[in-house]
Structures are given as structure tokens and as C-alpha cells.
Amino acid sequence: MIEKEKISTRQFMISVILFTIGTTILFVPTTVATEAKQDGWISAILFTGIGLLLVLFYNALGNIFPNMTLVELSIKLLGKWIGNMVAFIYVSFFLYSTAALLFYVGNFLTTQMLPGTPIQSIIILFTTILMMGVYYGIEVLARFAEFVIPFVLLLFLILVITISPQIEFQNMQPIFGEDIKSIIHGGFYSILTILF
């Protein structure tokens, strides 16, 4: 039987931050900009705030029901049928997200950093890393996230500083040039990176 592992609130928040940064860089900018155009930054700011509130909500649920998995919690709060449906949707989304992220990482690395490398080899490498993470458990991943976060934030800060001279604020104009529906639709994609 699998032991129930626990991580601290801090480790959970750090893990969410790392996941969000990773998926945001690979997936969100193109999708949000396609929907909201120059107002994509508005979508990202609004819906990232909403997403962080959802993280706090998940954290509160974890504190109220500390010894329950997501599936057990869904069944307890929503009943057997609806709870099982919600649990199935969550598990399906996790599997889909994992497959999609493996493809995005493989595609990014083979087109930007390692041209000529077969995408299958990158996907196999990252799948092996994921399997090791599953084998060693969430506690080890959370401790690793705590160790890695300062380096990731430092690299992110360096990236922002080095590209800031290339920022052209006129590309953000006209502000609210798109209708509110496009801004909300673009924001929906950014919240999906945090929601599940």
C-alpha cells in the first residue's frame, strides 16, 4: 500500500509557482496573445490573480480535510456520482496536461536549443524523469522544488532584466483595443495553468 505523503503549505506554493512558471513560458503567451492580442497582458494579470485565489482555496481545503486525497475529497463533498465524475475529470486533465507538456518541452528543446535531436528522445528523457518523481513521491519533489526555486527565480530575473531594453510599450496600445470577451477568453487559458 502506498504511504500517504504530506508537504507543507510553503512547499505546495513553491511547487505551484514552479509549475506555473514552466507552463506559462511554454504555453500561455502564444495562446493568450492569439485571443486577446495587445491586451493579453491584461488577461494574464487578471486571471493570474484569480488563479492564485484558487490555489489559496485548494490550500484551505487541504487544511480543512488534511488526510484526504483529491478523489476522496471530491466524493465526500459532492457525493458518490458527481464526486467520481469530478475525480475522473481531474485525473483525465492531469494525464492530458502531462502529455501536452511533454510535447511542448520536447518541441521547444528540439526547435530552439537542440535542433536535429529527435523529439522522441527528449520526450523519453523527460518521461523517465517524471517516472522517477512518481517513484520517489511528492515529498521528494517538494523538497527539490524548495532547493531549485532560488535558482529559477534568479534566472527568471536575469531574463527579464536582459530583455527589458527590447520592450516596446507601443505594442500594448491601444489599451482595451479588443473587446472584453477576447480578454476574458484569453485569460481563461492562463487560468487553466493554475486551476488544475
The 10s digit of each residue's pLDDT in 88-107 is 998 898 888 888 888 888 88
The answer to whether position 3 is within a domain reads no
The answer to whether position 35 is within a domain reads yes
The 10s digit of each residue's pLDDT in 7-41 is 887 888 888 788 777 767 766 777 777 777 888 78
d(CA 61, CA 39): 33
Long-range CB contacts (within 8 A, 24+) of 145-149: 145/11, 145/14, 145/15, 145/18, 146/10, 146/11, 146/14, 148/18, 149/14, 149/17, 149/18
The answer to whether position 2 is within a domain reads no
The answer to whether position 168 is within a domain reads no
Could you list the residue range(s) of the whole structural domain that residue 89 is in? 9-163+179-195
- C-alpha grid cell, residue 83: 464526486
The answer to whether position 85 is within a domain reads yes
First to last CA, the chain: 26
The answer to whether position 4 is within a domain reads no
Give pTM, 2 decimals. Answer: 0.66
